């Protein structure tokens, strides 16, 4: 399938590793010039080296998406470096385990900042560039927990539901500007953040056993997903082949989530 993405320009937040890096790499492989950010400078540089090997124009910047000034600067410098922005992938984020009684107000605020407000601010800052694009896309990386409440990921559950509504409302508001907005909801996908969760929850278990145990209870396909199983869908949504898709919410979760 020719995705006709060559020459487009994308900003992927949180792309130094995990899902974001896989998305940035697959976009670059399709001929897209890519801007990426994350907070850890060494990891940003290492991702930039990998991405430059594709031969595309790459802008890599240290930026924290919870800081409004850094978001403005990120979007502005990315657009300058690439000559515009056609595709925004709001991916930066982190799991915030914890049940209702263990979460403090500060935990809730921090989780809202990194999940909901990052998507709001990045989208707002990118709007002028998206309006100028011939094929504007916003793809929000969300979680199955948005529709499948899990009290052990209480903040994620509540805040991702808001992200899901943000995507749908943006799709409705900006359809007239031909800015297509979709949500990709992740179940369990092997990335560095899961290793952190395993260390906290089951330090004596191997990664393999920990993942197998979780997947056994929750995932009909019986396994964790891989980052390339997410990036393929994101790149498709970014492409011309997805030109009549907006306001959708697609799970990449091996069937996880007991809802229709």
Ligand X SMILES: NC(=O)c1ccc[n+]([C@@H]2O[C@H](COP(=O)([O-])OP(=O)(O)OC[C@H]3O[C@@H](n4cnc5c(N)ncnc54)[C@H](OP(=O)(O)O)[C@@H]3O)[C@@H](O)[C@H]2O)c1
Q: What are the residues binding ligand X (CB under 6 A)?
A: 13-20, 37-40, 43, 64-66, 91-95, 114, 141, 143, 186, 188-189, 191-194
Shortest Å, Cβ 168 to ligand X = 18
Please, which residue, 178 or 197, has the CB nearer to ligand X? 197
How far apart CA 98 and CA 96 sit, in angstroms, is 6
Please, which residue, 34 or 38, has the CB nearer to ligand X? 38
Question: In sequence order, what are the residues at sequence separation of 6 or more whose Cβ sits closer than 8 angstroms to the Cβ of residue 256?
Answer: 144, 148, 187, 188, 218, 219, 220
Both tokens of 230, joined, read: 């997410």
Shortest Å, Cβ 5 to ligand X = 21
Shortest Å, Cβ 41 to ligand X = 8
Please, which residue, 127 or 141, has the CB nearer to ligand X? 141
> What is the b/e burial string over 19-40, where b = at least 16 CB atoms within 10 angstroms of the residue's CB?
bbbbbbbbbbebebbbbbbbbe
Please, which residue, 15 or 161, has the CB nearer to ligand X? 15
Shortest Å, Cβ 10 to ligand X = 15
How far apart CA 175 and CA 47 sit, in angstroms, is 33
Cα→Cα distances 163→72, 175, 192, Å: 20, 18, 22
Of residues 125, 134, 140, the one with CA closest to residue 8 = 134
How far apart CA 90 and CA 103 sit, in angstroms, is 25
Please, which residue, 122 or 242, has the CB nearer to ligand X? 122
Shortest Å, Cβ 66 to ligand X = 5
């Amino acid at each position: 399938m020719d995705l006709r993405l060559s020459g487009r320009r994308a900003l992927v937040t949180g792309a130094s590793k995990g899902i974001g890096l896989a998305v940035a790499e697959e976009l670059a492989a399709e001929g897209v010039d890519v801007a990426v950010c994350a907070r850890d400078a060494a990891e940003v540089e290492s991702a930039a080296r990998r991405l430059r090997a594709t031969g595309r124009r790459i802008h890599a910047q240290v930026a924290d998406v919870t800081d409004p000034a850094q978001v403005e600067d990120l979007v502005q410098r990315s657009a300058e470096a690439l000559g515009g922005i056609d595709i925004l992938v709001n991916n930066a984020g982190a799991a915030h385990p914890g049940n209702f009684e263990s979460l403090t107000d500060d935990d809730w605020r921090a989780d809202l900042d990194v999940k909901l407000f990052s998507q709001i601010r990045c989208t707002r800052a990118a709007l002028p560039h998206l309006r100028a694009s011939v094929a504007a896309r916003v793809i929000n990386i969300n979680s199955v927990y948005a529709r499948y409440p899990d009290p052990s990921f209480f903040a994620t559950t509540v805040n991702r539901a808001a992200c899901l509504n943000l995507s749908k409302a943006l799709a409705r508001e900006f359809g007239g500007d031909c800015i297509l907005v979709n949500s990709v909801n992740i179940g369990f996908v092997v990335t560095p953040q899961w290793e952190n969760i395993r260390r906290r929850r089951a330090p004596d278990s191997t990664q393999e056993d920990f993942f197998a145990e979780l997947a056994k209870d929750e995932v009909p396909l019986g396994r964790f997903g891989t980052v390339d199983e997410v990036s393929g869908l994101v790149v498709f949504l970014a492409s011309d082949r997805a030109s009549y898709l907006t306001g959708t919410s697609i799970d990449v979760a091996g069937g996880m989530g007991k809802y229709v």
